[in-house]
Amino acid sequence: MDIRIPRGTQDILPGTSEKWQYVESIWHDICRRFNYAEIRTPIFEQTELFQRGVGDTTDIVQKEMYTFKDRSGRSLTLRPEGTAAVVRSFVENKRFGLPNQPDKLYYTGPMFRYERPQSGRMRQFVQFGVEVIGSADPSIDAEVISLAMEFYKETGLKGLKLVLNSLGDQESRKAHREALIRYFKPHIDEFCEDCQSRLEKNPLRILDCKEDKDHPLMKTAPSILEYLNEESRQYFQTVQELLDKMGIDYEVDPGLVRGLDYYNNTAFEIMIEGEGFGAISTLTGGGRYNGLVEEIGGPEAPGIGFALSVERLLMALETQGVEIPVNQGLDCYLVTQGEEPDKEGTALLTELRRAGISADKDYMNKKMKGQFKAADRLQASFTAVLGEEEWQAGRINVKNMNSGEQQEMDITELTTYLSAQLKEEKE
Ligand code: HAM
C-alpha cells in the first residue's frame, strides 16, 4: 500500500490513546476546579483572522499556515493556534456582554502548522489552552500561570522551569522598538534575510531568530525591561509578588519574546530541564494580549492565556518514566458453546454492559479453548461459561481468573453477582 499518513502527523493507537484520555481527564478536572468553561471553535477559520490576530510578520503566518481556497473562492486556514479563534468567538457571540466577567474559557483540540517535523514538532498537534478575556488584573495572570503549573504537577511531571518576562504596554514597546532599530540598523547586513525584513516591521522578532541566535549583538541587545514605563513595571512587579505568594518559582528572562505578535505585558513559557529533550524543551507558551479583541473587531477587552501541547507533555512524562495509570483489563469475558447459548450470550452482554460492567465475547467462531485464550489476552477478571448443558438448565459457570475460584449460578443472578464481586475487588 502506498498511501501513508501525512508527514508530521500521527495515529494515536490503542495502548497510547488511554494515556491521552488520562491527561485529558486531569485537564478537564483542573479547569473545572479553576472555574473555566470549555469552548469549541471550528478547525478552520477565515485566513484573515490569523493574519490580523497572530500577525503578518510572524513565522506562523508567513511560512506555516495550511491555507486553501474553498469552492466559492474563500481563503480558509486550518487553525495554527487557538487564541485568535477564541477571541473571534468571544466577539462574535458578544460574550463581553455577559454578566460574569472576565470570561474564563478553556479548549482542547488539534492545531496545524507546516513546520519541519521532528520529535516534539508536529504538523498536526493537540493543544490544551485557556483564555481569560475581560480583566487586566495581575491576579488573573498569576491564576493562569498557576493553572498550567498545577496541571503539570498533577500529571506527575517534574523538573519544570517557569520563565517570565514583560513585553510592556504599547508605550513601553514603542520605546523599546525604536531602541532595537537604532541598535541593529548599522549591522543589519550581517543578519539573515528574514531579520533584515523584520528590522522595520517587527524588530522584536530579531531577538527570536534561530539562524542568528549566536550573533554577538544578540547578547547585548536593548532589554525590554529597561524600557518599561512605570505602569508596566508595576504590573510586572505585582505578577511576580503574587507568584511568590503562591509559592511558584520562576526566572525572569528579558530575552523571552514569544513567536506571536499579539503579546504585551506578561509573557511566559514553561520549559522542562534535563536530558532527552534537545531543542524542544518548551512545553507551554502564553501571555497577555491587551488589544487583540479590538484588533478582531470587538470592544476594549484585555486578555491572557496559554497553550501547551499534549504530544510534548506525553514525551516528557515518558522520558521521566512517569507511570500513567491506564485502565487495564475487561471485567468479564463470556465463553459460549453452541448456537442457542451464543444467542443468549448476546442478550447477557447487553445486560452486563447496562450495569456498568465491561464485557465481551467471541465473534470469530472460536472453539472454547480459543475463547479462554482470548479472555486471558484481554486480562478478564472473570469468565462466564455458557455451554449447551448450562443453557438448558438456565445456569452459568463463573470463574474468578485471579483466584481460580469457580461458581455455578442461575443465569439471572450473573449481573448482580458480578457487580458485587467487582465492587469488592475495587475496594
Ligand atoms: P505557541 O508558543 O505557538 O503559543 O504554542 C504553545 C505550545 O504549543 C508550545 O509551547 C508547544 O508546546 C506547542 N506547540 C507549538 N507548535 C508545536 C508543534 N509544531 N508541535 C508540537 N507542539 C507544538 C500559542 O499557540 C498561543 N496561542 C498560546 C497562547 C494562548 N497565548 C495566549 N493564549
- Residue boundaries of the structural domains of the chain: 17-169+229-319, 332-421
The partner residues of 251 in beta bridges, in order of sequence, read: 163
Task: Pick from 312, 314, 315 the residue to mutate for probing ligand 1's pocket: most ligand atoms within 8 Å of its CB.
Answer: 312
E strand or H helix at 46: strand 44-46
Q: Is the CB of 121 under 6 A from ligand 1?
A: yes
Q: What is the pLDDT of residue 278?
A: 65
Atom 30 of ligand 1, residue of closest alpha carbon: 306
Atom 33 of ligand 1, residue of closest alpha carbon: 305
6-15: average pLDDT: 96
Calculate how far, in angstroms, residue 119's C-alpha sits from the geometric centre of ligand 1.
Answer: 15
pLDDT band (50, 70, 90) for residue 295: very high
Q: Is the CB of 305 under 6 A from ligand 1?
A: yes
Atom 15 of ligand 1, residue of closest alpha carbon: 309
What span, in angstroms and rounded, lies between the C-alpha atoms of 85 and 47?
A: 11
pLDDT digits (tens, 9 = 90+) for 368-419: 999 999 999 999 999 999 999 999 999 999 999 999 999 999 999 999 999 9
Picking from 51-55, 122-126, 255-259, 405-409, which range would have the lowest pLDDT averaged per residue? 255-259
**386 phi and psi angles, rounded to 5 deg:** -125, 95
Q: Is the CB of 208 under 6 A from ligand 1?
A: no
66-93: average pLDDT: 98
pLDDT band (50, 70, 90) for residue 7: very high
- SS3 category, 95: helix
Q: What is the pLDDT of residue 202?
A: 86
Calculate how far, in angstroms, residue 285's C-alpha sits from the geometric centre of ligand 1.
Answer: 6
pLDDT band (50, 70, 90) for residue 44: very high
pLDDT band (50, 70, 90) for residue 82: very high
Q: Is the CB of 195 under 6 A from ligand 1?
A: no
Atom number in ligand 1 closest to CA 284: 10
**In this structure, which topology does domain 332-421 adopt according to CATH?**
Rossmann fold (3.40.50)
Query: Sign of torsion, CA 248 253 255 261?
Result: positive
339-354: average pLDDT: 96
178-207: average pLDDT: 91
Residue 230: name the closest of 281, 287, 168 by CA: 168
Residue 177 has pLDDT above 80, yes or no: yes
Q: What is the pLDDT of residue 373?
A: 97
**Can you tell me which residue has the cell 444467542?**
343
- SS3 category, 54: coil
Q: Is the CB of 281 under 6 A from ligand 1?
A: no
Q: What is the pLDDT of residue 281?
A: 87
Q: Exposed (0-12), middle (13-18) or buried (19+): which is 196, by Cβ within 10 Å? A: middle
CATH of domain 17-169+229-319: 3.30.930.10
Q: Which residue has the higher pLDDT, 72 or 257?
A: 72
- Average pLDDT over all residues of the chain: 95
Residue 427 has pLDDT above 90, yes or no: no
Residue 277 has pLDDT above 80, yes or no: no
Q: Give the predicted TM-score (pTM) of the model.
A: 0.94
Q: What is the pLDDT of residue 30?
A: 98
Calculate how far, in angstroms, residue 406's C-alpha sits from the geometric centre of ligand 1.
Answer: 54
pLDDT band (50, 70, 90) for residue 205: confident
Q: What is the pLDDT of residue 346?
A: 95
Q: What is the pLDDT of residue 410?
A: 97
pLDDT band (50, 70, 90) for residue 219: confident
Q: Is the CB of 81 under 6 A from ligand 1?
A: yes
336-342: average pLDDT: 96
CB within 8 Å of 219: residues ≥ 6 apart: none
pLDDT digits (tens, 9 = 90+) for 115-174: 999 989 999 999 999 999 999 999 999 999 999 999 999 999 999 999 999 999 999 999
Query: How many of the other CB atoms lie within 10 Å of CB of 380?
Result: 23
Atom number in ligand 1 closest to CA 270: 10
Q: Are 88 and 296 in contact (CB under 8 A)?
A: yes
Percent with pLDDT over 90 in the chain: 88
Q: What is the pLDDT of residue 276?
A: 67
pLDDT band (50, 70, 90) for residue 325: confident
